[in-house]
A and B are shown apart, each in its own frame.
Chain A
């Protein structure tokens, strides 16, 4: 082990002198993370907000219930709704501009809810009714949201109606007063099933952190290659013969190179985690979980790149192969853009890359529980173990080749 440390110390001194490791390990990823964050952050931080109008020609309890539903959405800051007496809508105007249903030229909105006259009476008497949603051509998303709001309200009414019908004795004459009380009670009960969104809000990295993590793991594969490819460099400059002639175990040469890779990878990732946190505001998560993921992803990168170094004939060939593999894995693993959202085959293929597991682990860490990173850490360590074992066998032969 002493020999491996000696070799690693010599290699690290060389890497510091030629500055290539510094460039690939810190400067390039930090610079690119900064650039990407600068580009994508404004896009991500742009918030959704819609302006709606209600034209209430009914004035009954159903219309009132709908306005209350809209008020609750207003409370969440998603939309603003205001009542108007009327809107004039021409079909050709709907497609022509975004303020087609405005009462006047100064008053525009993204969508309008038209509650027709006698809607409440029609609904309460069991005949049903319609709320019309008018969307502006220039605000398709806001119109879609408006449609969903109306649809949700309709579904809720349907549920209340079903509850009332179920509670009413069969063949009994409907007493309006009893019906009203039953409907009120059903409305207060609420839905028996509630949904909780955990993925979007708690298991996703923000754009800055995603870019910082993506760039870090992308360049990690180049940084780590300086260590394992060192064997081929020793051959190229002839010093491998000196190492083989020296009174040291052959495997200590490989161990020294692995140690160099590990040190370069850990230092590079640590600097990037700290720098992107301090300079870009990246939120990597709990330090313990991040540390586990960093160690594991460095280990997996070492294994993969060592296989390449062991099977290449020259340092140039290894460099080319490593670059191709690093870029391909980075794209597939979602370093530049998330492929997991694509679903299907792409999402499954991405799990063949350490990059995807690393980013997934960081995403899981956003939930706040350090233990959540264990599946990703396990997958990364498995990558490293399998490829590292294969590389060790190949390298042992390659050293004396």
Chain B
């Protein structure tokens, strides 16, 4: 599945983790090569964070194995963790330390010291745009600045694998764009990037390959093209609607020429063989169900269509 000709940085197989009766991750496995950005795409609660917690050694796994840069990694590993940079979903910095002190502390934990550490801290401060605020306490920073420092700490020791857990959640559009540009530049420098998100647009924009995860299982993976081909040459009909959309979607699902129909956050998504042939009938059934349709869009299939096709649910459910 991975790109040929490049060294494998992450190889994880059969990852499994349960919390009591709940199976959070069930047999997840994928590989990432150097210079590759791999997106783990799935709705909230799909098992993305649990998967990367096991990959980074934060959480002991019930089964499976993780090999990073040729070294097995467990929650007790020390050496293998040097190859991993981790950027948690929530901002994880010391608010009463300055940006420089935060970077210096974590740099020392990764074994960097002396002039090398100072140079590296200065470099990262420049990359994340905080050079002029280096000696300010991070509690005085804006949310976007804290996010950038959060990412900078993960980059400090120049890891072979950078793991970013939904780094743009709760971020304003400007900072979000800056973060995405930074991540895009990292893979060109040879770093392997594992990026989890529930935003389809981010996965499409950044990732060379994407794994779709739902209910703790990896249901599909591949490039965007490969994934879209799973849906086939179908059209996606998106309707903004209100009312009994669940019932309406179920009624549409049985029509000829309709592959999938599901309620989404603001209406109904339908995958149809040919939108032009079935749209009138679909709209008739929906309005007959008492649902008010505000707008209708017909698109080429995208990752959201793929998710709907594979799981029967909209990505943002």
Contacts and interface: CB of A to CB of B under 8 A. Distances in A.
A245 B59 CA distance: 10
Contacts of B80: 247
B30 interface: no
Contact of B75 (A6, A14, A400): A400
Nearest to B83: A247
A6 B97 CA distance: 14
A238 interface: yes
Interface of B: 53, 56-60, 75-82, 84, 86, 88, 90-97, 101, 105-106, 108-111, 153
Nearest to A2: B108
B97 A247 contact: no
Could you say which of A18, A244, A245, A249 has the most chain B C-beta atoms within 10 Å of its C-beta?
A: A245
Interface of A: 3, 6, 10, 13-14, 17-18, 237-239, 241-250, 400
Contacts of B111: 247
Contacts of B109: 3, 6, 243, 246-248
Contact of A237 (B76, B95, B105, B108): B95
6 contacts: A10-B94, A239-B93, A241-B53, A246-B110, A248-B78, A250-B76
A18 B97 CA distance: 11
Contacts of B86: 241-242, 245
A388 B210 CA distance: 48
Given A14-B94, A247-B78, A241 B105 contact: no
A239 B81 CA distance: 16
Nearest to B58: A244
Given A237-B94, A239-B94, 16 more contacts: A6-B109, A10-B94, A10-B105, A239-B92, A239-B93, A241-B53, A241-B86, A244-B58, A245-B84, A246-B109, A247-B77, A247-B78, A247-B81, A247-B110, A400-B59, A400-B60
| Most chain A beta-carbon contacts within 10 A, residue among B59, B86, B94, B95 | B94
Interface secondary structure of A, over-half rule: helix
A10 B103 CA distance: 12
Q: Top 10 A-B pairs ranked by shortest CB distance?
A: A238-B92, A245-B86, A247-B81, A246-B109, A247-B82, A238-B90, A245-B56, A244-B58, A247-B78, A239-B92
Given A237-B94, A247-B79, A400-B75, A242 B60 contact: no
A16 to B, nearest CB: 10
Contact of A241 (B78, B92, B110): B92
Given A3-B109, A10-B105, A245 B94 contact: no
Nearest to A239: B92
A10 B97 contact: yes
A248 B75 CA distance: 11
Given A245-B58, A246-B109, A13 B97 contact: yes
B106 to A, nearest CB: 7
B79 A242 contact: no
Contact of B96 (A6, A14, A244, A250): A14
A242 B92 contact: yes
Contacts of A17: 96
A14 B92 CA distance: 15
Nearest to A244: B58
Nearest to A238: B92
Contacts of B97: 10, 13-14
A356 B241 CA distance: 73
Contacts of A13: 97, 101
A241 B57 contact: no
A239 B86 CA distance: 11
A6 B111 CA distance: 11
B304 to A, nearest CB: 30
Contacts of A14: 94, 96-97
A246 B83 CA distance: 10
A281 to B, nearest CB: 38
Contacts of A244: 56-58, 75
Contacts of A249: 76, 78
Nearest to A248: B109
B169 to A, nearest CB: 13
Nearest to A11: B94
B24 to A, nearest CB: 15
Contacts of A246: 81, 106, 109-110
Contacts of B58: 241, 244-245, 400
A14 B90 CA distance: 21
A19 to B, nearest CB: 11
A237 B75 CA distance: 20
Nearest to B92: A238
Nearest to A250: B76
Nearest to A15: B96
A237 B102 CA distance: 13
Contacts of A239: 92-94
Contacts of A245: 56-58, 81, 84, 86
Contacts of B92: 237-239, 241-242
Contacts of B105: 6, 10
A112 B309 CA distance: 111
Nearest to B137: A17
A245 B86 CA distance: 7
A242 B153 contact: yes
A220 B94 CA distance: 25
B18 to A, nearest CB: 15
A278 B53 CA distance: 54
A211 B287 CA distance: 83
Contacts of B59: 400
